[in-house]
Structure 1
Amino acid sequence: MRRTAVLGLTGALIAGTVVAAVPQTAVAGGTAHGREHHVNAEDIGVRIAAARAADAGIDWAACPADWGIAAPVQCGWVTVPVDYAKPYGAKIRIAVDRIGSTGTAAERQGALIYNPGGPGGSGMRFPLRVTTKNPIWAATAKAYDFVGFDPRGVGHSAPISCADPQEFVKAPKADPVPDNEADKRAERKLAAEYAEGCKERTGAAMLAQMTTPNTARDLDVVRAALGERKLNYLGVSYGTYLGAVYATLFPGHVRRMVVDSVVNPARDQIWYQNNLDQDVAFQGRWDDWKAWVAKYDSVYHIGSTPAKVQAQWERLRATAKAHPIGGLVGPAELLGLFQSAPYYDSSWATVAGVWSKYLAGDTQALVDAAAPDLSDTAGNIASENGNAVYTAVECTDSPWPRDWRTWDRDNSRLHAKYPFLTWANAWLNLPCATWGVPQRKPVDVRTGNGLPRVMIVQSTRDAATPYSGAVELHRRFKGSLMITEKDAGSHGVTGLVNPCINDRVTGYLVTGSLDRHDVTCTPHAAPVPPTS
């Protein structure tokens, strides 16, 4: 799930066209997911769209120069309905890219499609894992074309917007931890204005269709456009929920699926409770990092005990609140930098190093790491767009509490024990309380007819997607294999070096092999400070 510190459709809507019969090759496996599923207008619409895409294919060409994706990666478009209940109505184009498999024709097994999370993340850099010769993916690259895409609303796929990008990134922002009721009222006002901005800048028609089920339907249309009867899929973070929803709606279309760092898919978790659980998990991983910093006090000189490190953090926040560091870095910007440590073990030394330099008198190091680059117009547009999609999908996917007293009660209680992220997370999601389009009922994620065994990968101390989410998906997907990285906390495990995990992921994708029983792996290596 995405955490963010804190353009209109640009001609992406195109006229609908008429399609005749629905070829069976486009709908192999059907969309029924079991006893509770009934065919509806959206089921029919996705079959029509998939048939049309299968017939059209993808016109692959060199990627546009300003996309920053060089040859031999190719780019193209897949046309999908805005509303699958109206397959002949307004359309948008989904941006896709690919690099061909590196093996022989006999070794090739089709396309592997990737989603990195979010909601709001772009998968368009996935093929670069091949061009950069990433050894973890070398064997898999022999078997598959690596395919990335921008989900609806993201990047090049009819990008949505909720605020002026330059205003969105300006700093310093208000301290996310409120001092009083006036601070809370100010944040509530900002959240309501942001929700209204989403409706005004994106349009209610598009905003109402920014859902995970629709993105899953888009994914099935992309599958058909690629000429694939079944999907091979790798999803990380929010990408696990997208994969789970896809597997529920299209169980017979799944060939192999790996989900890594899992969102709890239970209906009563999507999305309000998941975000509350995230606050608890972030605090736990923050505490892990503080203990590590204290262990290496001879390197960083921040504090020799976790309590002393925490005291330094509170002192740093107070300093930034009283006088933003470099005029740009207040408590909100500090959190934007420091939350990367609970997210990824690879950030532990980086964040500690920046903090250590600041304490030694190097203020600029902290400003460079934490302050937004107001001159980076393209980056600021991407940042605002990513946050807009995050908000739109989570707010539209499911009902959220409308009564402020519920938010205030729940977050006040959590903040008392888990203060690191709680209020910042609340304000990020509060636009959902005044959302301007209907909020849907989440999909009932579960095994359906024809769904093969799914591989689930998770670290036990993941902050962004707590371990309980993987356990819940494992329970719902009968026959799935659970690979647990015990006493580790990185978010996104499959891209890291741990042979216990890497070898199994590669074996599954390349040969279909899966252990008969769940597997527990130990961390391959603990974070250490740089040697120089």
Structure 2
Amino acid sequence: MGELMQKFRAAALAVALGTALGMALGAAVVAPAGATPKPSLSFDACPGDLATPYPAMTCASVQVPLDYAAPGKGQATLLISKVPARDPAKRRGALFVNPGGPGAGAASYVGKLTKPDGKGVTRLPPSVLDSYDIIGMDPRGVGHSSPFGCVDPGYFGGPQPDPDAAAGRERLWQTWAKFAAGCQAKAGAVLPHLGTVNVAKDMDLIRDRMGERKLSYLGFSYGTYLGAVYGELFGPKADRMILDGNVNPVPEDLWYQAALAQPPAVQKRVTDWLAWVAKYDPVFHLGTSAAETTKAWNAALEEFRAHPHGAVGANELLGLTFNVMFAEVGWEALGRALSDYTVKHDDSALVGMASPDTGAGAVQTTSAFQSVICADAAWPADRAVYERDTAAVAKGSQFAWYNTFASGAACANWPAPHGTRVPITGKALPKILMFNSVGDPSTPYAGAVKMHNALPGSVLVTERDSGKHCVFANPIGYANERAQQLGAAYLTTGQLPPSDTTIGGHPVPGPSGATAASLDRSPA
């Protein structure tokens, strides 16, 4: 959502303030259909927080109409980042990327995908970096693009109310209803113009101002829906497109249904994680069976529920665990933190990992996230609907109330009109490539099948025996070499698998310095 969602909630990553969107006058100018547009963007130095970690990246600022129906009534200023193609002789165009969220910025994401790690390996394959300018656009309200915030920093200071207690839910509902009122007070003029349709239009305007006749696209999580919407609006302008970690585009109330679909998938990953912890009991000392490690996890959760540790209660602990399940790279750290608490009675690691960020950046992220999902599609207006539907999901997942109630309270009380879901048909898109792991906790596989069916020219690559969120060029998970090969071949040559295909999942490494086969099974 990961984006979808990398769940930007007060409990786990929480929230932050910025400034209102700019309102200078101006209008969009788009080249006639079929014409090769003339470049009008000038890329130069990036802001310091981007230039320091990513010195190879350049940036440009672009003004876009706040309202495309009335382009003379206001503008937003967007930040665009670029890493140019490494081999000009092989350059075939611009590859726009979006990391999802909504609320996650693409400007910094370009750096993450292109910067070599300590071993010289980049997340995007070398052949792709040779062939494309990699382009990242911070969507309106996100990152450096006319930021805004609905509440002041510290509004979501922990511990937040327990979502599984009726009294806690009442407090949560009021907290997020006041958040929605804060959005109206601080950014009411821009709220109607922050949905996915406007972001897609911004992308196409940027394409035009870069002088590109077409754009290629790589979208993760929420970015898959953005890519599909772009295809509906500007299909002939799309060249090659990869959608990875796919949103189910079918429901009219798509983000509400996405919030309900995630908790069971996350619960399955928690089960996998606890089985992995049991496999390495000589490291974690929480039990040699999944039943024993599950008991340890449940005991910690209930203790934090009854007696919060500083800013961390059950809400924050659920939020931390929810986010860690997106990629196995965090499994060891969470397992060791749970072990420290359970075995050594030391809560410092667990509290440190789960303590919420209540600063300005987190408020901005949450404000952008809620503004898009509340604006994009219908949400129930009746609180009783949230209570009924979430209670049903909670029968099979500890994360149901945590995941649904905050966004539900905000969107049920949203001060701007809900938009209408864009029907996805793929009628004007070229053949595209899709990836999804079979156990993705953020964008469950059933939704990927729905997106695949909605895009007749798509080929779906399924990563079996895997539950990480997103597969190709994944900057938060372990790489799948076969996925890297397939994605690179498609982007550079246009070659697609002849039909839908399944690739093997990556093995989950053991804890640092240990393997299951070599560990001593003696008691701690």
Separation of aligned partners in 2, 1:298 and 1:165? 42
Separation of aligned partners in 1, 2:63 and 2:235? 23
Alignment of 1:315-326 (within 5 A): 315-325=299-309
Contact 2:105 2:137 in 1 (8 A): yes
Residues 445/394 of structure 1: CA separation in 2 closer, same or farther (3 Å cut):
same
Separation of aligned partners in 2, 1:530 and 1:317? 26
Give unpaired runs (5+ residues) of structure 1: 30-50, 375-379
- Which residue number in structure 2 is paired with residue 389 of structure 1? 368
Structure 1 counterpart of 2:212, from 204, 228, 232: 228
Structure 2 counterpart of 1:291, from 275, 283, 286: 275
Report deviation, 1:309.
2.2
Residues 384/459 of structure 1: CA separation in 2 closer, same or farther (3 Å cut):
same
Structure 2 counterpart of 1:144, from 132, 137, 145: 132
Separation of aligned partners in 1, 2:185 and 2:287? 48
1:173 aligns with 2:151: no
Report deviation, 1:192.
1.2
Structure 1 counterpart of 2:23, from 10, 13, 24: 13
Separation of aligned partners in 1, 2:297 and 2:464? 28
Structure 1 counterpart of 2:499, from 513, 517, 521: 517
Contact 2:426 2:457 in 1 (8 A): no
Q: What are the superposed Cα offsets for residues 327-362 of structure 1, whole Å, 9 maximum, x if unpaired?
A: 222112212221233211222222112212222243
Aligned amino acid, residue 189 of structure 1? Q
Separation of aligned partners in 2, 1:319 and 1:303? 19
- Which residue number in structure 2 is paired with residue 62 of structure 1? 45
Contact 2:221 2:443 in 1 (8 A): yes
Residues 481/298 of structure 1: CA separation in 2 closer, same or farther (3 Å cut):
same
Aligned amino acid, residue 15 of structure 1? L
Structure 1 counterpart of 2:259, from 263, 271, 275: 275
- Which residue number in structure 2 is paired with residue 44 of structure 1? none
- Which residue number in structure 2 is paired with residue 46 of structure 1? none
Separation of aligned partners in 2, 1:56 and 1:255? 18
Question: For 1:481, what is the secondary structure of its paired residue?
Answer: strand
Separation of aligned partners in 1, 2:340 and 2:168? 32
Residues 66/381 of structure 1: CA separation in 2 closer, same or farther (3 Å cut):
same
Separation of aligned partners in 2, 1:399 and 1:476? 20
Contact 1:263 1:470 in 2 (8 A): yes
1:434 aligns with 2:413: yes
Separation of aligned partners in 2, 1:517 and 1:232? 21
Q: What are the superposed Cα offsets for residues 431-452 of structure 1, whole Å, 9 maximum, x if unpaired?
A: 1111111111100011123x21
Residues 316/140 of structure 1: CA separation in 2 closer, same or farther (3 Å cut):
same
Structure 1 counterpart of 2:447, from 465, 469, 472: 469
Question: For 2:72, what is the secondary structure of its paired residue?
Answer: coil
Report deviation, 1:67.
4.2
1:117 aligns with 2:86: no
The TM-score, its normalising length taken from structure 2, stands at 0.90
Separation of aligned partners in 2, 1:401 and 1:10? 28
Report deviation, 1:73.
1.1
Aligned amino acid, residue 134 of structure 1? V
Report deviation, 1:418.
1.6
Name the count of aligned residue pairs: 493
Contact 1:127 1:148 in 2 (8 A): yes
Question: For 2:178, what is the secondary structure of its paired residue?
Answer: helix
- Which residue number in structure 1 is paired with residue 467 of structure 2? 489
Separation of aligned partners in 1, 2:140 and 2:180? 19
1:96 aligns with 2:80: yes
Q: What are the superposed Cα offsets for residues 364-387 of structure 1, whole Å, 9 maximum, x if unpaired?
A: 22222221366xxxxx21211111
Report deviation, 1:106.
1.9
CA-atom RMSD in angstroms: 2.0
Alignment of 1:42-441 (within 5 A): 57-69=40-52, 70-103=54-87, 105-128=88-111, 129-132=113-116, 133-136=120-123, 137-168=125-156, 170-178=157-165, 180=166, 182-203=167-188, 205-268=189-252, 270-325=254-309, 327-359=310-342, 360-372=344-356, 380-441=359-420
Q: What are the superposed Cα offsets for residues 292-324 of structure 1, whole Å, 9 maximum, x if unpaired?
A: 222222221123322322222222122223332
Question: For 2:367, what is the secondary structure of its paired residue?
Answer: helix
Structure 1 counterpart of 2:437, from 450, 459, 466: 459
Separation of aligned partners in 2, 1:163 and 1:250? 35
Alignment of 1:24-35 (within 5 A): 24=32, 27-28=33-34
Q: What are the superposed Cα offsets for residues 426-483 of structure 1, whole Å, 9 maximum, x if unpaired?
A: 223321111111111100011123x211110000000100001111111111121100
Separation of aligned partners in 2, 1:398 and 1:213? 11
Contact 1:73 1:98 in 2 (8 A): yes
Report deviation, 1:4.
2.3
- Which residue number in structure 1 is paired with residue 426 of structure 2? 447
Which deviates more, 126-135 or 83-92? 126-135
The TM-score, its normalising length taken from structure 1, stands at 0.88
Which deviates more, 365-374 or 79-88? 365-374
Contact 1:28 1:253 in 2 (8 A): no
Question: For 1:464, what is the secondary structure of its paired residue?
Answer: coil
Q: What are the superposed Cα offsets for residues 18-74 of structure 1, whole Å, 9 maximum, x if unpaired?
A: 86xx532xx449xxxxxxxxxxxxxxxxxxxxx9xx556212111122445443311
Residues 250/114 of structure 1: CA separation in 2 closer, same or farther (3 Å cut):
same
Separation of aligned partners in 2, 1:342 and 1:463? 7
Give unpaired runs (5+ residues) of structure 2: 11-16, 515-524
- Which residue number in structure 1 is paired with residue 8 of structure 2? 4
Contact 1:8 1:202 in 2 (8 A): no
- Which residue number in structure 2 is paired with residue 40 of structure 1? none
Q: What are the superposed Cα offsets for residues 127-175 of structure 1, whole Å, 9 maximum, x if unpaired?
A: 323332534421110001111121111011111211112223x222222
Aligned amino acid, residue 467 of structure 1? Y
Identity of aligned residues (%): 35
- Which residue number in structure 1 is paired with residue 521 of structure 2? none
Separation of aligned partners in 1, 2:155 and 2:215? 40
Question: For 1:339, what is the secondary structure of its paired residue?
Answer: helix
Contact 2:196 2:376 in 1 (8 A): yes
Question: For 1:366, what is the secondary structure of its paired residue?
Answer: helix
